[in-house]
């Protein structure tokens, strides 16, 4: 194994949501070192112009490359939609994976009984039609049903992921989808994996496979590293470094809920 294999995986998001991707990568690739960047000072990206999102994404990419990462995971649906090509071009030979491509690929790998896929996400992601574009590039015949679920991000941040309120919100948003017997439902927002158990329970009888794009991109990363012979096989537990551009009140608790474990150190590193 070359020393390059010990280089960290870089993961970024506009805020803390991408920590669900970190969690999935830690589980599937426990020896990898990980560097995360959350742009907490400038979140949310979904309400900003495409030009601004591109500029921010390239600033973060530059920061991660300066940390000698061996690949970059775009753990942000807004950036995946707005700046995917720009980030790839900027990275040159460093491989780039993104949640949209990974989620779309995972949804297409589900047995197609009804040739239909559901997508839920923020208003920005749904309006961008980024999942439609990604899916139709491979499978133009798929019917896609998408729905913006703006309450799910604040619900996740409040920690109400499996109570009576979240159950009613899921019913309200996914009521139509339950009747459609979709082959798959893509959770197209990095906050949404916190609702996976609730959504799986709600859609159980409709036979819909729930696609957690955090798990999908982690699996895709594992495959890509194996293909390039870049897996860290040191046998040591990987190190995790968490950078943010601002550390708001209650950040630590919130971050730990998304990561599913204690977070010992958070570095504050503004980009501008």
Is 77:51 a contact under the CB 8 Å cutoff? Answer: no
Interaction between residue 155 and a copy of itself (CB under 8 A): yes
Map the footprint of a copy of itself across residues 19-48, applying CB under 8 A. 40-41, 43, 47-48
Question: Which of residues 169, 182, 210, 244 is near a copy of itself by CB under 8 A?
Answer: 169
Choose the catalytic residue: 91, 149, 189, 242: 189
247 to 266: interface string for a copy of itself, x by CB under 8 A: -xxx----------------
Of the pair 138, 163, the CB lying nearest a copy of itself is at 163
Q: How far apart are CA 82 and CA 100, in angstroms?
A: 11
CB of residue 154 vs a copy of itself: minimum separation in angstroms?
4
Question: Which of residues 91, 97, 135, 153 is near a copy of itself by CB under 8 A?
Answer: 153
How far is C-alpha 167 from the geometric centre of its chain's CA atoms?
23
From 6-14, 76-84, 153-161, 223-231, give the range in contact with a copy of itself by CB under 8 A. Answer: 153-161
Of the pair 197, 248, the CB lying nearest a copy of itself is at 248
Of the pair 86, 246, the CB lying nearest a copy of itself is at 246
Question: Is 76 one of the annotated active-site residues of the chain?
Answer: yes
Q: What are phi and psi of 178, to 5 degrees?
A: -65, -30
Q: What is the CA radius of gyration of the chain?
A: 18
How many residues sit in the footprint of a copy of itself (CB under 8 A)? Answer: 26
Question: Is 242 one of the annotated active-site residues of the chain?
Answer: no
Is 30:61 a contact under the CB 8 Å cutoff? Answer: no
Interaction between residue 154 and a copy of itself (CB under 8 A): yes
Is 71:11 a contact under the CB 8 Å cutoff? Answer: no
**DSSP SS3 for 12:** strand
Is 78:189 a contact under the CB 8 Å cutoff? Answer: no
Q: How far apart are CA 202 and CA 119, in angstroms?
A: 16
From 79-87, 112-120, 167-175, 223-231, give the range in contact with a copy of itself by CB under 8 A. Answer: 167-175
Take residue 163 and report the two structure tokens written for it: 């109570």
Judge residue 101's burial from the number of C-beta atoms within 10 Å of its C-beta, 0-12 exposed, 13-18 middle, 19 or more buried. Answer: buried
Choose the catalytic residue: 71, 76, 91, 149: 76
Q: Which residues contact 95 (CB under 8 A, 6 or more apart)?
A: 70, 71, 72, 224, 228
Catalytic residues: 76, 189
Residues lying near a copy of itself in the complex (CB under 8 A) are found at: 40-41, 43, 47-49, 123-124, 127, 150-151, 153-155, 157-158, 160, 164-165, 168-169, 172, 246, 248-250
């Amino acid at each position: 194994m070359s020393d390059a294999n010990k280089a960290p995986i870089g993961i970024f998001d506009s805020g803390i949501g991408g920590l669900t991707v970190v969690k999935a990568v830690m589980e599937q690739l426990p020896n990898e070192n990980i560097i995360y960047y959350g742009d907490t000072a400038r979140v949310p990206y979904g309400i900003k112009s495409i030009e601004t999102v591109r500029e921010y994404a390239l600033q973060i990419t530059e920061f991660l490359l300066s940390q000698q990462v061996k690949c970059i995971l775009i753990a942000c649906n807004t950036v995946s939609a707005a700046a995917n090509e720009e980030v790839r071009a900027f990275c040159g030979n460093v491989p780039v994976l993104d949640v949209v491509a990974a989620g779309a690929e995972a949804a297409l790998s589900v047995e197609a009984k009804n040739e239909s896929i559901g997508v839920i996400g923020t208003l920005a992601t749904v309006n961008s039609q980024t999942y439609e574009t990604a899916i139709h590039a491979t499978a133009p015949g798929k019917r896609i049903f998408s729905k913006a679920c703006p309450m799910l991000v604040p619900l996740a941040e409040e920690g109400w992921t499996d109570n009576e309120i979240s159950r009613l919100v899921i019913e309200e948003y996914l009521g139509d989808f339950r009747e459609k017997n979709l082959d798959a439902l893509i959770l197209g927002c990095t906050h949404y994996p916190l609702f996976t158990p609730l959504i799986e329970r709600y859609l159980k009888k409709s036979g819909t496979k729930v696609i957690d794009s955090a798990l999908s991109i982690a699996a895709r990363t594992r495959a890509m590293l194996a293909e390039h012979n870049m897996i860290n096989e040191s046998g040591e537990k990987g190190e995790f470094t968490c950078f943010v551009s601002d550390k708001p009140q209650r950040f630590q608790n919130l971050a730990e809920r998304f990561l599913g474990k204690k977070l010992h150190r958070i570095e504050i590193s503004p980009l501008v």
